[in-house]
């Protein structure tokens, strides 16, 4: 069974919306505002590209990443790995041709079936709604969180507000950086 890892930039109050400046959110680009850049705080992002063997994302994240990431040197390792997009509306004609193998999955059952295949870790970038659904279905195995010392108020959250049974997490890696960022890696306890 493959490990499914949800990775996110998250504010202290749980917001994950538009960290890179995506339009339509009042605090867009919050990861680059008011926080000193320290390369060591982002070490985990490079490690994720080396350790992951596939990328999973929702339609909205795919539509944001696919025009940009294929040409970015910072994301070169992702260009060659298989990508899976969970969407009920995308068609093969909507997929970009310069980002390597990409398959459309139609349901969480398809994601569960993908997890049951042979292979290494699958990384989930962005995709707030998908991450909430995956968490609710018990499909996420690990969280890689870079927590920013910001309170953003309104915005898409990483975790669902749905009332559910307690989900225990085990902290397996953490670090605090001089700029206030915290790296927290949690395994989901089953």
pTM of the model: 0.95
**Residue 7 class from Cβ within 10 Å (0-12 exposed, 13-18 middle, 19+ buried)?**
buried
Residues 46 and 54: their CA atoms lie apart, in Å, by 14
pLDDT at 46: 94
β strands within 83-181, DSSP E: 83-86, 102-105, 122-125, 142-148, 169-176
Residues with Cβ within 8 Å of 155's Cβ and at least 6 positions away in sequence, in order, are 11, 15, 16, 17, 18, 25, 27
Question: Would the pLDDT of 34 be above 90?
Answer: no
Q: Which of 31-40, 51-60, 156-165 has the highest mean pLDDT?
A: 51-60
C-alpha torsion 80→84→87→89, nearest 10: 50
pLDDT at 164 over 90: no
Please give the share of the chain, as a percent, with pLDDT higher than 90: 89
Q: How confident is the model at residue 89 (pLDDT cuts 50, 70, 90)?
A: very high
8 A C-beta contact, residue 103 and residue 76:
no
Neighbours of 174 (CB within 10 A): 12
- Half-sphere exposure for 49 (CA within 13 Å, toward CB): 13
> How many helices and strands (H and E) does the chain possess?
5, 8
pLDDT category at 33 given cuts 50, 70, 90 is: confident
What is the pLDDT confidence band of residue 71, given thresholds at 50, 70 and 90? Answer: very high
């Amino acid at each position: 069974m493959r490990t499914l890892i949800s990775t996110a930039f998250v504010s202290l109050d749980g917001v994950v919306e538009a960290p890179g400046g995506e339009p339509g959110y009042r605090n867009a680009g919050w990861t680059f505002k008011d926080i000193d850049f320290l390369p060591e705080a982002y070490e985990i992002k490079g490690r994720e590209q080396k350790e992951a063997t596939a990328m999973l994302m929702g339609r909205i994240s795919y539509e944001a990443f696919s025009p940009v990431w294929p040409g970015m040197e910072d994301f070169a390792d992702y260009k060659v790995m298989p990508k899976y997009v969970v969407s009920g509306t995308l068609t093969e004609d909507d997929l970009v041709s310069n980002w390597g193998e990409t398959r459309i999955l139609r349901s969480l059952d398809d994601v569960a079936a993908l997890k049951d295949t042979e292979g290494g870790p699958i990384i989930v970038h962005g995709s707030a709604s998908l991450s909430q659904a995956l968490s609710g279905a018990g499909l996420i195995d690990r969280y890689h969180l870079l927590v920013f010392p910001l309170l953003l108020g309104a915005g898409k959250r990483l975790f669902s507000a749905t009332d559910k049974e307690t989900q225990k997490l085990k902290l397996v890696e953490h670090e605090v950086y001089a700029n206030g960022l915290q790296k927290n890696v949690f395994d989901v306890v089953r």
